[in-house]
A and B are shown apart, each in its own frame.
Chain A
Amino acid sequence: MTTRKSSSKPRAAKPKAKPRVAAKAKASAPKAKKKTPKATPTVSVAPAPVAPEPVIEAPEPVTASVAAPIAAIADFVVDDDTELAVVQSDAELANLFIAEALDHLGTIEQKLLELDERPEDTSLLNDIFRPFHTVKGNASALGIVSVERVAHKVENLLDLARSGRIQVGETEVDLVLRAVDVLSLMINDVGQRLAGQPRKATGAEAVSLVQQVERLIAGQLEEGAAAAAAVMDTPEPVAVAAADEPAFEHDRRGATPSRRRDDVPMLAGTATAIKVDTRKLDNIVDVVGELIVVQSLIAQDPALSALVDGRLARNMAQLRRLTADLQRNSMALRMVPIRQAFQKVARVVRDQSRKAGKPIDLVITGEDTELDRKMVEEITDPLMHMARNSVDHGIEPPDAREATGKPARATVSLSAYYQGSHVIIEVKDDGAGLNTERILESARRKGLIAPDANPSPEDIHRLIFEPGFSTAAKVTEVSGRGVGMDVVRRNIESLRGRVDIRTEQGHGTTFLVRLPLTLAVLDGLLVRVGSERCVLPAAAVRESLRPKPEHVHFVQGQPRMVQVRESVLPLVSLGALLGMGAAAALDPSAATVVVVEEGGSRIGLVVEELLHKQEVVVKSLGDSFATVRGVAGGAILGDGRIGLILDPHGIVTMVREGSRRAA
């Protein structure tokens, strides 16, 4: 079977009548050609007398509902107010349910993706069934009827699959994945309604889902025409045929171990973990931050330092050590593995590869790399977008790949690892690479750069992060609207991170995302700007100096450049740039110049005074100041006052834009 045009592949060619009857037979099915059974509406020849496996939770009697007609819409229109009232009567329990259910759905999604790779592994079906059953049971106990009903239907399907009465292929996995999406939506909606938001219309989706499930069950059990109908309802699985080729078998193997590995820590982790409301964690971090401030206030108290007492000094030192320890530990509370984000990306790659008809292997490494919980949440969307871009734009269609001598099956790899106090996340594809000329041409056409400008290839590649840039010939559902990569960059920068591109035409593109381990602590350099003290992230500061007057160069009467050894750097008054203090007239040779490097460019920032280095706890200034540029947050300083944490990248960008405007 070497057919590659999968969409036009006649279904009749599939080994439809595989005599897969009982679960046992299924488990022993040959492991080779894993994807073969996928999307094949394989039908059990003898559906009835199956000895089901011993079941842990007593399942509902499924046979009854199987025979039931297609779901009536009325069954799924639940009286809103009753349900809401039930939930509101114990909001705390409901919130717990929501958190837990979403957690379970996450697990289910992950297992489904594994099942997609290894449909013959029946233990996965159990792993999916159990949390599903729990979600359903909890929903029912709480009286969230809408969720319970949908979950129940899907559970039926899973139970039938578990007992081997229906075959699990791509269609089934797709459907259950959709069910996970719909249920997540519905459960999130419960939370929203608890918080007083209006109800979202999820009913129609739920009904269509349930109908599909029922049709699928009916079709699988009855064979024949009904089966075909069920298949037609789900998106055409395009990426199948190529999988039949044994030639790429080893590629798939490469992806498998990385998935297997994460089973172990997951199990080990759950045994000793408890669920804690994240607000409680944040409160601890807040209080510990305060404790540190008070501790240093006391330690530096003149009255105390006047005392010379060995025991007091020892105890003070002990106190300092313990508070520092406490701070480190409380920070560690917020660290979680990046797995959750990677899982979402895996899902996107899977869906997108189907949609685009490009068979892809996803290789994941380093999913246990820990970083700040908030960071994991915030990085998920940008990663998903980059992965989508790789699949959509980066990877060529299979025939084009073969024409250039590459395997038809593309590889997208996703990896995370530590580098110093940073985490590097790579999204890598072996696609066509960025087309430098096309980007340049498109940027010129859109006026993103001057027509006579001659930027370096690196600068050209960075243009894809400019707002309004898109080279996609056609607008697809996910990319090509020119929004996206600029949002990706902005999101990453707002996490104090950076994104770089490495690309080689014909060989692929790698997006390198560099993030700080945590947003919570920062090694900072305190500087005085006007009457305020500000914190510059030490990582961005190269050096500080007081330039000799002859090294300061004037442009139009303003000190605009400073010579630092061989190089001449732009000179910017920090106060004037941000709009703080009257620092515009500051004489650089009387003040201090801090050299900041960001994204390869260096600038000299003129500040009134360099104070000292300090590790600070980073606080967000809140949404109220979301539009303020050049400022990344606030830090509570030793005296309890707040110092603004500056954002070197934002500052460099402001300087660049300022000179562009002037030009």
Chain B
Amino acid sequence: MSTHGTTGRFQREELVGKYLTFALGNEEYSVPVLKVREIIKIMDITAVPQVPEYVKGVVNLRGKVIPVVDLRLKFGFPAQDYTERTCIIVVEVALATGARMMGIIVDHVSEVLNVAAEQIEQTPEFGDEIQTDYMKGIAKVQGQVKILLDLDRVLGVDGTIAMPQPSAA
């Protein structure tokens, strides 16, 4: 998988703004605050059959049925028991079939961050092993690297939850 797609899309100015950062294992990821609808504590999730392992099922968000994806599993981290700090971040993603609310399970939510242009860098080329399609770039903030996620790509291809295989391959 080459990363030329990323190169073509990289627009530093577009990426400037507020981000919600969260942790998966020891890594810090972030999504634009404008995409975030709310953050809820982990709750009972109704499993749906015949879906990839990382699709945990559906939850009832005030009368709306929303699918929930475990980002740990999606990105190939080992599964982990949910804790007090485990959160579902409800985000709005643009799928081929229109905007849709979805939940992503993360280890814990960290903070809201202002990312300036000079902090943003293009996703480096990792070679073939790591797919960078779903990274818009990286931000270096106080010595730490936060990965800026492209949620529309992470959560949906062709409007289904059948997503490209995660980086762990």
Contact = CB atoms under 8 A, between A and B. Distances in A.
Contact of B48 (A531, A620, A621, A641): A621
B166 interface: no
Given A290-B63, A620-B65, A641-B44, A626 B160 contact: yes
B160 A621 contact: no
Contacts of B67: 621-622, 624-625
A622 B97 CA distance: 10
Contacts of B2: none
A625 B159 CA distance: 9
Contacts of A532: 46-47
Contact of A580 (B49, B60, B62, B162): B49
Nearest to A285: B63
Contacts of A636: 60, 63, 65
Choose among B60, B66, B97, B102 the residue with the greatest number of A CB atoms under 10 Å from its CB: B60
Nearest to B59: A642
Nearest to A530: B47
Interface in A602-644: 619-631, 634, 636, 640-644
Given A622-B65, A624-B100, A634 B160 contact: no
B51 to A, nearest CB: 7
A228 interface: no
A286 B66 CA distance: 13
Interface in B7-61: 44, 46-51, 55, 57-60
Contact of B49 (A620, A628, A640, A641): A628
A621 B62 CA distance: 14
A579 interface: yes
B95 interface: yes
B49 A579 contact: yes
B164 to A, nearest CB: 15
Given A634-B58, A641-B44, A627 B63 contact: no
A627 B163 CA distance: 13
Contacts of B50: 578-579, 627-629
B165 to A, nearest CB: 17
Nearest to B57: A642
B100 A623 contact: yes
A181 to B, nearest CB: 25
B155 to A, nearest CB: 9
Contact of B46 (A287, A293, A628, A641): A641
A628 B48 contact: yes
Interface in B44-94: 44, 46-51, 55, 57-60, 62-67
A644 B46 contact: yes
A625 B63 CA distance: 18
Interface residues of B, number: 27
Contacts of B97: 623
A289 interface: yes
Contacts of B66: 622
Contact of A625 (B48, B59, B62, B95): B48
A621 B60 contact: no
For B48, B50, B102, B162, which residue has the most chain A Cβ atoms within 10 angstroms?
A: B48
Nearest to B101: A622
B60 A578 contact: no
A190 to B, nearest CB: 18
B161 interface: yes
Contacts of B57: 642
Interface size for chain A: under 10, 10 to 19, 20 to 34, or 35 or more residues?
20 to 34
B49 A286 contact: no
A250 to B, nearest CB: 50
Contacts of B160: 623-624, 626-627
A642 B56 CA distance: 13
Contact of A621 (B44, B58, B95, B156): B58
Interface string A511-548: 00000000000000000000110000000000000000
A586 B95 CA distance: 40
Contacts of B162: 627
- Among B51, B63, B64, find the residue whose CB has the most chain A CB atoms closer than 10 A: B63
Q: Which of A286, A578, A641 has the most CB of B within 10 A?
A: A641
A642 B46 contact: yes
Nearest to A620: B65
Contacts of B55: 624
A140 to B, nearest CB: 31
B65 A644 contact: no
Contact of B58 (A286, A287, A579, A642): A642
Contacts of A624: 55, 67, 95, 100, 102, 156, 159-161
Contact of A641 (B51, B60, B156, B159): B60
Contacts of A622: 65-67, 100
Nearest to A195: B98
Most interface-central of A625, A629, A636, A641 (chain B CB within 10 A): A625
Nearest to A629: B50
Contact of B60 (A579, A628, A642): A642
A159 B49 CA distance: 60
Contacts of A625: 48, 51, 58, 67, 161
A293 B65 CA distance: 14
Given A287-B63, A634-B58, A642-B65, A623 B159 contact: yes
Contacts of A287: 63
A297 to B, nearest CB: 12
A636 B59 CA distance: 9
A624 to B, nearest CB: 5
A493 to B, nearest CB: 17
B63 A643 contact: no
Contacts of B48: 621, 625, 628, 631, 644
A622 B44 CA distance: 19
B65 A580 contact: no
Interface string A270-291: 0000000000000000110110
Interface of A: 286-287, 289-290, 293, 531-532, 578-580, 619-631, 634, 636, 640-644
Given A622-B65, A624-B55, A628-B51, 5 more contacts: A286-B64, A289-B63, A579-B50, A626-B160, A628-B49
20 contacts: A286-B62, A287-B63, A532-B46, A579-B50, A621-B48, A621-B65, A621-B67, A624-B55, A624-B67, A624-B160, A625-B67, A626-B159, A626-B160, A628-B49, A628-B51, A634-B65, A636-B65, A642-B58, A642-B59, A644-B46
Q: Which 8 interchain pairs have the tightest Cβ spacing?
A: A290-B63, A286-B63, A642-B46, A578-B49, A579-B49, A619-B65, A623-B159, A624-B161
Interface of B: 44, 46-51, 55, 57-60, 62-67, 95, 97, 100, 102, 156, 159-162
